[in-house]
Chain A
């Protein structure tokens, strides 16, 4: 039997890696991929808790399903945005999209 803490640590690690990707990647799609890792880590956490605490209730899985849907939607919109930005500015490096600077 795998202790729950292992799953949680695994999820924390995945989340941290994803966070690193979000903060450090130049390319916007790289950032999006980091976000996906983070969402996956959340899902792992949810499912792990579902299995270890109350498998009869289905809330954990429902939550995970909703997260799937949201992630999909977000990726779609985000990529549409990136494409639109790429068309405009010919770049999707995040540190070059800085119109809101001082």
Chain B
């Protein structure tokens, strides 16, 4: 019996995969970036289906709002007027297709054959607040404060690093 959520999921999955394919095959780079936005959106919806609402929002805000925008900026900055479209694949694309297909097949088969993949959904307490526990976990000593702090340092380093790398010397 196919439930509605399954249909929803299948739809979202197909759309997302389609957008992802367009990302990698679009010849115009800006188009490719826009398809990426769409794909990211799709992933956000998947997060929502998985009842990770916070992550869905974070996905939209960070990935789409920051990263995809950043990518579009970079595309703008590295455009050459006459070269928006051109050959988009290098000479190895045949091998790449093979690899991708093989990997998909292997991963899919392996993951699907694991018994855990067919386990039922674990019950989630209705009163549990994933957001609250996430926030607490990120700052508690017994939790994941260290990775959290490290991630922030990493972001700081990335920030400084990218400024330094992209600094235009006069």
A33's partner among B36, B111, B161 (CB-CB below 8 A) is B36
Chain A, interface residues (CB within 8 Å), range: 35 or more
Q: How far is the CA of A73 from the CA of B154 in the complex (A)?
A: 7
| B 1-16 contacts with A by CB, 8 A | 3, 5-6, 9-10, 13, 16
Contact between B5 and A23, CB atoms less than 8 A apart: no
Q: Is there a chain B Cβ closer than 8 Å to A52's Cβ?
A: yes
Interface string of B93-114 (1 = CB under 8 A from A): 1011101110110011001100
Q: How far is the CA of A12 from the CA of B36 in the complex (A)?
A: 17
Contact between A65 and B71, CB atoms less than 8 A apart: no
Contact between B118 and A4, CB atoms less than 8 A apart: yes
Contact between B24 and A24, CB atoms less than 8 A apart: yes
| Chain A residues, Cβ within 8 Å of B112 | 5, 8-9
Chain A interface helix/strand/loop/mixed: helix
Contact between B165 and A1, CB atoms less than 8 A apart: no
| Chain A residues, Cβ within 8 Å of B39 | 14, 37, 40
Contact between B104 and A13, CB atoms less than 8 A apart: yes
A30's partner among B29, B103, B162, B168 (CB-CB below 8 A) is B29
Chain B, interface residues (CB within 8 Å), range: 35 or more
| Chain A residues, Cβ within 8 Å of B52 | 47, 50-51, 61, 64
Contact between A62 and B46, CB atoms less than 8 A apart: no
Contact between A26 and B87, CB atoms less than 8 A apart: yes
Contact A47 B55, CB 8 Å, known A26-B89, A52-B122, A75-B67: yes
Contact between A72 and B74, CB atoms less than 8 A apart: no
| B 127-170 contacts with A by CB, 8 A | 128, 130, 133-134, 137-138, 143-144, 147-148, 151-152, 154-155, 157-159, 161-163, 165-166, 168
| Complex A-B: 29 CB contacts under 8 Å | A1-B3, A1-B6, A2-B5, A5-B118, A6-B13, A14-B39, A15-B103, A18-B20, A18-B24, A23-B95, A32-B71, A33-B71, A36-B40, A36-B71, A37-B20, A40-B40, A40-B43, A47-B52, A47-B55, A61-B52, A68-B59, A71-B63, A72-B62, A73-B157, A76-B159, A80-B165, A81-B165, A83-B77, A87-B168
Residues of A within 8 A of B (CB): 1-10, 12-21, 23-27, 29-30, 32-34, 36-37, 40, 43-44, 47-48, 50-56, 58-59, 61-62, 64-66, 68-77, 79-84, 86-87, 90-92, 94-95
